[in-house]
Amino acid sequence: MRLLRRPHGGHLLGLDLAAALLITAAYVGFVRMSDSDAQPAYTGPVWAGMLVAAVVGLPVAARRRWPVPAAVTALAGAAAATLLDITREPYLAVGFTLYTVALTELPRRSVPLLATALAASAVAVLTGEALVTPAETWSGATGVAATVWLVVGGGWAAGFAVRARRAGEADRADRRTERALIDERLRIARELHDIVSHSLSLIAVKAGVAGHVAQRRPEEAVGALLVIEQTSRAAMTEMRRALGVLRADPADPPLGPAPGIDALPLLADQAQQAGVEVDLTVRIPDEGLPAGIALAVHRIVQESLTNVVKHAAPARCRVAVEADLREVRIDVTDDGRSGGHGLPGGHGLVGGHGLVGMRERVTMYGGTFSAGPRSEGGFAVSARLPQDGTRRTE
């Protein structure tokens, strides 16, 4: 358990000072009190009684800054007051200071101090009440000691309970912060994976085409190199946008909006350049989609087309994005002409992060996701993103 100390507000120090003065004033009254109430009266010098009153009460004012010295001083003063027949209250000052000790100090320091306070108070009460100036029987003195123990131990227990609660809150806050950092790293990893995977797949396909036809059909090789150039520039722009969130330099120029629904035709064009015939259908409300959901739709379609390019090209692919006020539906299917999609499980089901990333995106919005081979051949990806804030599970 960590050592917890909180900054002390002026009003708290003011309250402590007021409590210290009240307790000191009460003990000054005990010094001047006669024995008419059947309790032994203090008979020593007034100045000594005033000093004991100050030693008992004033440490309460310093308990937040120096908790252990304050508790030890208050305990010594209270024990002296008991032996001198000044005490007529159950060690409230000791209870206040032990509360702060338990709140701010580690148990290995606060527990021994509690044990010392219990032992010293019991000895002082039993000695003063039953031996020095007997005012109680041994059973009565034991009852007084039990009352003192209740106040002293109760103050320590209250401080320890508050300390445990604050430590729990701090641990939960640390876990939330750690979880947020992990989520942010995963988000950045998903963005970089989607950008790099999509772009490099197109570049690899076109580089292969250029190398294959460079001598026989140089004009086709030039077209492939042009696609590589355009794809590389687009990838650099998206990488700059994705990595820009890690920088905090206000002098940098704005990076522009994140890709969304409007960029889906460009994804279809890039896939077609890599040998995938894409039938794109987009039906969304006139007011559009929230930026976060629009980016998720873009990335899901991007990763799905990337998988088709890598594992099924040449192929035909149908992309349907439909939205209403309740949810956004994304369906991507291909005919899988190449058969098997290049991997034993098809579409990166073995050893890839694409489907995992898509599922994480959908889960983040409380939606549902499914992906797998179709009975009639090919592969299908289906995602549902709710827009009404309702979280659903598969």
- Interval 192-206: pLDDT, tens: 766 666 666 677 766
CA dihedral defined by 89, 94, 99, 105, rounded to 10 degrees? -170
More confident residue, 189 or 300: 300
More confident residue, 49 or 248: 49
More confident residue, 275 or 316: 316
Ordered strands of the 379-386 beta sheet = 276-283, 315-323, 327-334, 379-386, 368-373
> What was the pLDDT predicted at 179?
87
Task: Return the exposure string of 168-194: e unless at least 16 CB atoms fall within 10 Å of the residue's CB, then b.
Answer: eeeeeeeeeeeeeeeeeeebeebbebb
> What was the pLDDT predicted at 112?
94
More confident residue, 219 or 338: 219
- Interval 141-154: pLDDT, tens: 888 889 999 999 99
**Is 259-394 a domain of CATH 3.30.565.10?**
yes
Rounded distance between C-alpha atoms, residue 308 and residue 312, angstroms? 5
- Interval 15-36: pLDDT, tens: 989 999 999 999 898 888 876 6
Query: What's the half-sphere exposure (Cβ side, CA atoms, 13 Å) at 385?
Result: 26
Burial of 144 (0-12, 13-18, 19+ CB in 10 A): buried
Residue 124 has pLDDT above 60, yes or no: yes
Q: pLDDT band at 60, cuts 50/70/90?
A: very high
Residue 215 has pLDDT above 80, yes or no: no
Residue 45 has pLDDT above 50, yes or no: yes
Q: pTM of the full predicted structure?
A: 0.55
Q: pLDDT band at 345, cuts 50/70/90?
A: very low
Q: pLDDT band at 287, cuts 50/70/90?
A: confident
> What was the pLDDT predicted at 390?
43
Rounded distance between C-alpha atoms, residue 43 and residue 86, angstroms? 9
How do the domains of the chain map onto residue ranges? 10-176, 259-394
Mean pLDDT of 64-73: 93
Taking Cα atoms as reference points, which of 182, 194, 175, 389 lies closest to residue 293? 389
* 251 in Cβ contact with 297 (< 8 Å): no
For the chain, give the mean pLDDT.
81
Residue 391 has pLDDT above 80, yes or no: no
- Interval 69-121: pLDDT, tens: 999 999 999 999 988 888 888 899 999 999 999 999 999 999 999 999 999 99
> What was the pLDDT predicted at 260?
83
Mean pLDDT of 53-65: 92
Which residue reads 């291909």 in tokens?
334
Residue 363 has pLDDT above 70, yes or no: yes
Taking Cα atoms as reference points, which of 144, 150, 152 lies closest to residue 128? 144
